[in-house]
Every structure is written in C-alpha cells, then in structure tokens.
Structure 1
Amino acid sequence: MLTIQEINQLIDKLDQSTIDEFSYEANGGKIKLKKNTGDTRQVTSQPVVQSQESVPQVNVESTTKSEVSTEETETKEEAQPKADYDHEIVSPMVGTFYSSPSPDKPVFVHVGDQVNDDAIVCIVEAMKLFNEIEADVTGTITEILAENGELVEYGQPLFRIKKA
C-alpha cells in the first residue's frame, strides 16, 4: 500500500495535470483520486486487511505531524440476527462522518434506500480531505450507525446493508 507521502505526491501531480480522475489498485488496496471544482481534494481508500498481523494506520487527527498507531484486525461474530443485514460499510480511516455533501444539501442515503455498489453513501473528512465512501455492494440500507458530524474510527461500522 502507498504511504501518506506517496498519496500526497499523487494528489499534487493530479492537481497539476489535466487528468480529472485516477485509480490505483495493488495488493487488495484501492485508491481513487478525483479532481473537485472547489478547493478540496477527494481521496477514496480501502485498507488492506491482513489476517493475524498488525496493520499500521496513520492517526489523521494530528495536523502538525503524522502519528502511527497499530491496530490488530480481528473477526468477531456478534449476537445480532443475520437477517437484518448482509454487509457492513466501515470507515476506511479516522475522521469526521458527514451524511450529506454540504449542510444545505440533502443526505446521501436514508434507511430503506436502494443503493448500487458505486453509490456514495457518506463523506469522511480527514486532514481537510473529503473522502467519498461508496456502498461497495448493491442492496438496501437497513441501518445508519453514525451521526452527522461524529468522529469515526478506522474500521468502525457506518452502515448495514441487506444485499439484493
């Protein structure tokens, strides 16, 4: 997976070029950069999940320097009925959850909405980058687990979806 410095270099190169969108996939990780008409830059990222190993993550709360924390990835079964949902959309980073593109715009999705795998369901803002989070599956939103403006952690479930 790319380092934060390499991602920042890609963002700078994209800003200087005539390319509007850039995607990169390697080792199960995916980065998608899109130019925005405003002053913000968009980055969509999915972390590489490695079983039985520690995965380093960057703490994006610090604006002066990056701090690295280590998080153990574990699979745990909860006592929730499987009939409610088939898939969870989790936060790919630490940041602020936004349910709409701006305060005066409607929310991306409501409970009961049908979504496609490429539908944007929310934004997670980290270090002044607004990251559009996609559904990744086609189905119906059964639960919204985060509140607008709430700080979310890496791997925290944001939505539950019943696959179509």
Structure 2
Amino acid sequence: MFKIQEVRELIKLIDDSNIDEFEYKKDGTTIKMKKRGNEVIAVQPALAAQKPVQAIATEVVAAPAQGETPKQEEKPAVQDENLQKITSPMVGTFYGSPSPDAPAYVNVGDRVSEGKIVCIVEAMKLFNEIESEVNGEIVEILVNNGQLVEYGQPLFLVKA
C-alpha cells in the first residue's frame, strides 16, 4: 500500500509536469492520475485480495504558482506570546466550511470558545469536525481551503 507522503509527492510531480495522465504500480497496487484543467485527480484502487474491495479517490486542487507559495511561507506570523495554535489532530484535507456554498465556520477576527467547531478535516472520506480547544479571537488562518494538512500542523492562531 502507498504511504500518504508517496502519493503527495507523486501528485506534486505530476502537477508540475506536462504529463496529462499517469499510472504507477507498486506491490500490486496501482495509482492512476489524470489532469483535468488545473486539478490532479488521483485514484488508488485497493487490492482485490484485501478484505472488501474499495476505491479511494482523492481530488487535489493544484497548488498556487511557485512564486506565490514562498511569499505565504515567508510572511512573518503575528508575533505575540498570547497566541495559541489550533492544530490538526489528523492527516487529511482542510475545509473551512461545511459545504462549498456555505459560509466559513470562522474568519479572522471572529471570537471562538472552547468546543466551537472551527473547520473540518477530511480523512478517508470521513468529515471530522475540529473544535477549538482555546477561548479567544482568530488572528490568522494558516492553511487554505482544500489544502492537505499533517498531524499536529497549526491551522489557526488564536489570541487568548
């Protein structure tokens, strides 16, 4: 089975290349990727010998142009000792709202209290509501909608 990091690396490589369609086989598992406009669609069918046969389809929106990404990363985060982080409890895809046409759970400047839902992290087609563990004001949203996030990755900065 492929590790999530291997799949991410493959998606990045395909996204940065001129290839429109790609298929990769490893240990009896196959990943097929096709570009459609500015998106890379990755499909990884499970092995037939495993428990139930299932297909995992992940849709990843292409990253911003290379000139834009470093600017966001180099942007100095708000420096304050009172800032606390709301972190991702799992690897998955970050969504700031319950559906594409719904308003975001929280925006910069909103007040949050402990237990308030601030976002969703999708992992294995399960949408997990992430609750704030702190009381305060959202100072900065550190990830973009649809972005893959790692376990423990900061999602929001909150001023206590």
Off by >3 Å, runs of 4+ in structure 1: 62-65, 79-82
Cα RMSD after superposing both structures: 2.4
Q: Show the counterpart of 1:117.
A: 114
Superposed counterparts of 1:21-36, under 5 Å: none
Normalising by structure 2, we get a TM-score of: 0.51
Shift of 1:115: 0.6
In 2, are the aligned partners of 1:84 and 1:142 still within 8 Å (CA)? Answer: no
Go from structure 1 to structure 2 and tell me whether the alpha carbon gap of 1:63 and 1:149 turns closer, same or farther (over 3 Å shift).
Answer: farther
- Secondary structure of the corresponding residue to residue 141 of structure 1: strand
Normalising by structure 1, we get a TM-score of: 0.50
Match among 121, 126, 131 for residue 129 of structure 1:
126
Structure 1 residues not aligned, in runs of 5+: 1-61, 66-78
Query: What are the superposed Cα offsets for residues 115-142 of structure 1, whole Å, 9 maximum, x if unpaired?
Result: 1111100000000111101111110000
Go from structure 1 to structure 2 and tell me whether the alpha carbon gap of 1:102 and 1:84 turns closer, same or farther (over 3 Å shift).
Answer: farther
Shift of 1:63: 7.4
Q: Show the counterpart of 2:159.
A: 162
In 2, are the aligned partners of 1:97 and 1:148 still within 8 Å (CA)? Answer: yes
Query: What are the superposed Cα offsets for residues 40-86 of structure 1, whole Å, 9 maximum, x if unpaired?
Result: xxxxxxxxxxxxxxxxxxxxxx8748xxxxxxxxxxxxx96652752
Q: Quote the sequence identity (%).
A: 60
Whole-Å Cα distance in 2 between the matches of residues 96 and 80 of structure 1? Answer: 22
Answer with 1 or 2: which has the greater Rg. Answer: 2
Whole-Å Cα distance in 1 between the matches of residues 45 and 97 of structure 2? Answer: 24
Letter in 2 for 1:117: E
Superposed counterparts of 1:78-97, under 5 Å: 82-83=79-80, 85-97=82-94
Number of residue pairs the alignment of both structures matches:
90
Go from structure 1 to structure 2 and tell me whether the alpha carbon gap of 1:84 and 1:131 turns closer, same or farther (over 3 Å shift).
Answer: same
Q: Show the counterpart of 1:108.
A: 105
